[in-house]
Amino acid sequence: MSKNGRIRQLIQVPSGQDGTFKLKEFNTTMIVPENITAIRFVLNAGWVLDPSMGTARTIFKGVEVYNITNYTKPVTLDIPFKVDKTDNYKLFIRYFKNQKGGAIRVYIDGNPIYLKTKDQLNKFVWEDLGTFKLEKGEHKIVLENVRGFNAVNLFALIPENEYNKARKDVIELLQNKTIIYLFEAESDLYRENAEIIKDFNASNGEAVKFNDNGEAWQNVEIVKNSTYKLALKGAGTFNVSTGNYSYILTLNNLTFKYTPMFYLRNGEYKLKNPSSH
């Protein structure tokens, strides 16, 4: 019961079944909201539609409730480190985004950074956690598992001026290079009204099958101003688009189909691949 006197259901045990059963044990974790002031357990007994078939009996051996708040602590990992000079530093993390994820929290010298890890894609990704001014000497990163299945395999701490210089050097290096962005539909693209199927014509034996109004998408960072074209391999008719450009491609599942060339300036774009049919 909440503070305003309203009754709300918090959890339901498995429904009853026909037949005769031995005693079964049921365990669950119940999260009680802060505004709940009292809890009432409702026990449902068995019954028979035809009394001539006998008498229904339901036996409850007992109900035990434990408050585990004070006995469970989030899993944490302390990572001490030292910087040689006072400077601004950029902190990056490589963590696992996955469908069974939840959230993690990263503390740098006690400052918390919250990251959601639940995601449609199951893959490791880099995340920029921000820029921090660190004094010369000892510091500490604390990694906390808030909820869900999580994995972190790398932190990178880089002086901000070195990071900016390296980024500039990379962009200049790529100016005279051909850049190709590759996306596997089943592992690199978000999707809606679509499912993964086995397809031995695909590069890794899997493909994405689109249902009615199905689509797939991903954000892509274009690092230099240049002309580009999209290439798509599949079966069916698709409307592919990025930026202000959109093209309809009919594919036969055997070879790549290419769009005409178009021009993009550096920046972030959304690549979409909705299915026409």
Q: What is the CATH number of the domain that holds 104?
A: 2.60.120.260
Distance CA(161)–CA(106), nearest Å, equals 23
Confidence at residue 60, expressed as pLDDT on a 0 to 100 scale: 74
Confidence at residue 203, expressed as pLDDT on a 0 to 100 scale: 72
Confidence at residue 114, expressed as pLDDT on a 0 to 100 scale: 95
Distance CA(124)–CA(146), nearest Å, equals 18
Confidence at residue 248, expressed as pLDDT on a 0 to 100 scale: 93
Tell me how many domains the chain contains.
Answer: 2
What are the tokens at 188? 């690199």
Distance CA(43)–CA(26), nearest Å, equals 13
Confidence at residue 75, expressed as pLDDT on a 0 to 100 scale: 83
The low-confidence residues of the chain, meaning pLDDT below 50, are none
Pair 145, 192 in one domain: no
Structural domain includes residue 176: no
Structural domain includes residue 162: yes
Confidence at residue 1, expressed as pLDDT on a 0 to 100 scale: 55
Mark which of 170, 205, 231 sits at the end of a domain.
170
Reported pTM? 0.66
Confidence at residue 6, expressed as pLDDT on a 0 to 100 scale: 74
Indicate the residue type of 42.
V
Give the domain range for residue 214.
185-272
> pLDDT tens, 178-216?
889 999 888 899 999 988 888 766 777 788 899 888 999
Pair 138, 195 in one domain: no
Confidence at residue 4, expressed as pLDDT on a 0 to 100 scale: 67
Confidence at residue 276, expressed as pLDDT on a 0 to 100 scale: 58
Pair 102, 159 in one domain: yes
Pair 97, 125 in one domain: yes
Mark which of 141, 170, 199 sits at the end of a domain.
170
Task: Catalogue the E-assigned strands of the chain.
Answer: 75-83, 87-97, 103-108, 111-116, 123-134, 137-147, 152-159, 190-198, 206-222, 226-228, 231-232, 235-242, 245-252, 257-258, 262-264, 267-272
Mark which of 170, 196, 211 sits at the end of a domain.
170
- Helix (H), strand (E) at residue 131: strand 123-134
